[in-house]
Structure 1
C-alpha cells in the first residue's frame, strides 16, 4: 500500500500553494516500508523518521536543495551567511503559538529562565548578556527582570548590539549600561573592554554563546569571577556531541582531512558536558570551581525547516558559521541525504504550528550556577 507522506517542498517558499500542497511535493507516495514507519501517517501523532532508503528516493529533491543553497550563499561573507541561516530559525508563527518556527529551543528554555530570574527577588540587578545577539531572546524574559536593573551587552556583531540596545531603550524596567561590539574573551586585567566589565553581576546570561569561546575553561573562569555573591549565571548550549550542528561541524573538518581538529571538537563537547551537565556519577564540575550550586535542565530540542534547503542552511548556525567555504553546505547535505539516522531526520506529523516540517536533533542543556551569598 502506498501512503502520501506530508513533508514540505525543497524548492519553494510558498509559491501560492497551500501548506499541504507544498508538503506533498517532497515525497510523493513513499511506502511505509521505505520510511520505516510503524503506522500510517494519517493516524500518527509522533514525528516520523526518514530512513536512508527514503532519502535515496528523494535524490532529485536533494539535488535541487543543494543548488538552491549554492546560489543563495555564493559570495556572502561569514556574517551574511550566518544571517541567512539563522533567519530560518527565526521564522515566525503567524498565530504566535510558538516563539519561532525554526527551533523549539526558546519554547523550552524561556520558562526555565523566567523561573530562575524570578527567584532572584525584586532588588535591581546588574546583568551581563554574553553573545547577546539582537535581543529577541531577552525580550521574552525582560518583564521578569526587577525594575531599575541595568544590562551590559557583548556580541561581536555590531548590528546585533545596536538592535539589542534599541530594544532595551523601550523597556521601562531596564537601563542600558555598556554595549560592546566585541567577542567575549577572558579579561583578568580589565584592559580589553572600555569601559571595563563589572565584577559583581547579579545575573549573567550566555545563551547559545559558548560555541564561540576560544578557551572554554578561561572564559567560564572569567564569568565566575564577575558573578556577585548570591548571583546566578545561566548558560544554555546545544549538546554538540550528538546535535545536528555538531555532527555537521565534525563532518566538515573530516572532509578536509582535519581528523585531529574533528577529534578536538569531540573532546571539547565532552568537556562542556563534564563542566555544565555532569553525569549520574559526578555533578557538573563548574559547581565546585565556582564554589556554588548548579541546577541542570536537559531538554530534547530540535531544529525545524519547511524545506531541505532550510535544514541545510540551519547547519550553519553554530561552529560552521566561522568558515566561509560553501563546501560546508555540501557536507551538511551529505549528512542529511546519506546518514539521516545520525541527525535523527524526521517529518513532523503531530498537529500544530510545525506540522509537515522537517526536523533534526539539536538537544540543549540549561545550566544555572548560583554563587553562595
Structure 2
C-alpha cells in the first residue's frame, strides 16, 4: 500500500503506513491521540515527497476522510478500505515530462505561464525584441485630442486607438503627431519614422480623393503592394514598404480603423514577433435581424451580444458609438445569400 499521511491542525501531527503488508497507521511524530479525526484533513505533500510516500487517503473534492477508521489494540487508527498506489500523490512525470517542449518558438508568455517558468528555475529567459510601431495621423481637420476644436475641426483619436491596440499586442507604439495632408511633410515624417521603427501605421491617408496621399508618398520612397483589401469596412487600406520597414495606411474613421486593426494588422504584428496568427474567440448566437451580403467582397458587421442574441450595430461612417456598443463581428462572405433573422451565426468577439 505504501506510506500514507494524515495531518491535523494545529500541531500538524502525521501518521504513516510504513509496512506495505499492514494497513495500520503508525506514529511518525507527535501524539496521534491529539489529532481529532474530524480535523485530520490537511495533507502535507512536502513530507510525503521527502519520505517517498505512495498514497494519501483523502478526498480533496469533499474535504473528508475516505474511510472511517477502526482502532487496534495499540489504539492507533486503522483503515480497512483498499488504497490505490499513487492516489493523491503527484509524481515527477504527472505534470510535465522530461524533455517535453513546453514553450515553442513564438509562444506569447501569459500570466498563467509564469508559475511554470518559476518552477523550472527560469527567472530570466530570452525573448524576441518588441517591435516598435510608428503612428502618424493625417487630415487637415485634425487637432490634438486635448484641444478644444474650433468649427470645422475634429479631435484626433485614431493614434490613441492604434497605440493602445499595439500595446495589447506586445508592440511599442511611437506617436509622430498629425500631418495636415501635406506631401512633403508626410514624406519627411515617414523617412524619420522608417529609421526608428520596425513598421509604420498611417491613419486617415488612404481614402480615394486628391488629399489622401499615403500611397503616393510611400510609392515615392519605396513600394506599394496594395491600395485596397476586398472586405467592407474598409477597402481603403494601403500596404507598402520603405526599405525594410512595413507601412500600413488605414482609413480615417475610428470604427473602420479598428476593424482593419483586428482583421489585418494584428496578424502582421504577431508575424513580426514570430508568433502564430491571431485566433478569434467565437460564440454561437441567433441574429435579431437579417444581414445581406455584398456580391464583390466580404462584409464584416459589428454586432452586440445580449444573451444568445446578436444584434447588428449600424450607423453612419465616423460614429464612435458603434465601437462602444459592439461585442464582436459577423462575417458575411462575398456572394453569400446573407443571413436571416433568427438564424444561428458565428460571432468573432473582440
TM-score by length of 1: 0.24
Pick the structure with greater CA Rg.
2
TM-score by length of 2: 0.25
Q: Which has the larger helix fraction?
A: 1
The structure with higher relative contact order (CA 8 Å, sep 6+) is: 1
